[in-house]
Amino acid sequence: MRVLVTGARGQLGLDLVAACAAAGDEVVAVAHADLDITSRSDVLGAVTSVAPDVVINCAAWTAVDACESDPDRALAANGTAVRWLAEACHRARVHLVQVSTDYVFDGTLDRPYHEWDDTDPQSVYGLTKLIGEQEALALGPDATVVRTSWVCGVHGANMVKTIMRLAAERDSLAFVADQVGHPTFTHDLAPALRRIALDRISGVVHATNQTPCSWFQFAQLVVQAMGRDPEMVAPISTAELQPPRPAPRPANSVLDNAVLRMAGFAPLRDFREPLAETVRALLAG
């Protein structure tokens, strides 16, 4: 399989390139410096010249709070850029896999969200990612939207690294206990994305590691994996966060991986396994 990976130097992109290469794929990896996906002509040129079997788009502007103050940039990166990718893929008869997010939901449901639940984003980031989903699927069935959540890995900036840094600097930490989701690790998600692309599953798919937790519980597990006392982490409510975050977060980000389950995919691991592996790798340098 010949794969074009956009956003290839981000935390997910790096692991996706490695997973595809390990499986024997021919991988063309492009970062923002190589391809500006907000440029229609550049995207059309890249897809035409590379002639991939599949494009997996890991590129996005994921600075959730910054998106609130620059909605035009967020729309360009997360929304209209996907239109250009979808258009180019449609012309070249290439399958598109678009990575999306739990932020397309409002987080008020009292059960895990499945792929058919109504979306209702509460932030600019969530809205622009939803627009990207719609653009990916607008030109027919030759596209997959893969929603995931709470993404972490050994590359890039993420909550595991933030918690580890804070735990090294402070004697006590506080994390919200009223936001719940599925932490998802890139070295598990990447092979799943590749298989979804290989199987050309169409429509919306949820793909996360298993077992829900709150950010408070997650922080405790990270601290414990560092060899520190998890009791140094205290629970607080979202309302107690100071200063308040510009962008609202969904209280419930738990995604039911119903489509993959029905398609016969084995569930991704309990998140605690890749969490421990990630902390060990980061501690080892």
Distance CA 71, CA 16 (A): 28
Structure-token match 């997973």, residue found: 19
Strand bridging mode 180-181 / 213-214? antiparallel
Q: How far apart are the first and last CA of the chain?
A: 33
Q: Which residues are catalytic?
A: 125
Task: Tell me the CA distances in angstroms from 223 to 186, 208, 228, 274, one per residue in order.
Answer: 20, 22, 5, 15
Q: Please enumerate in sequence order all residues whose Cβ is within 8 A of that of 13, keeping only pairs 6 or more positions apart, or say none.
A: 5, 6, 7, 29, 31, 58, 59
Strand bridging mode 173-176 / 233-236? parallel
SS (H, E, C) 5-29: EECCCCHHHHHHHHHHHHCCCEEEE
Q: 219, 175 in Cβ contact below 8 A?
A: yes
Q: 19, 192 in Cβ contact below 8 A?
A: no
Q: 31, 13 in Cβ contact below 8 A?
A: yes
Q: Please enumerate in sequence order all residues whose Cβ is within 8 A of that of 266, keeping only pairs 6 or more positions apart, or say none.
A: none
Peptide bond into 248 cis (omega under 30): no
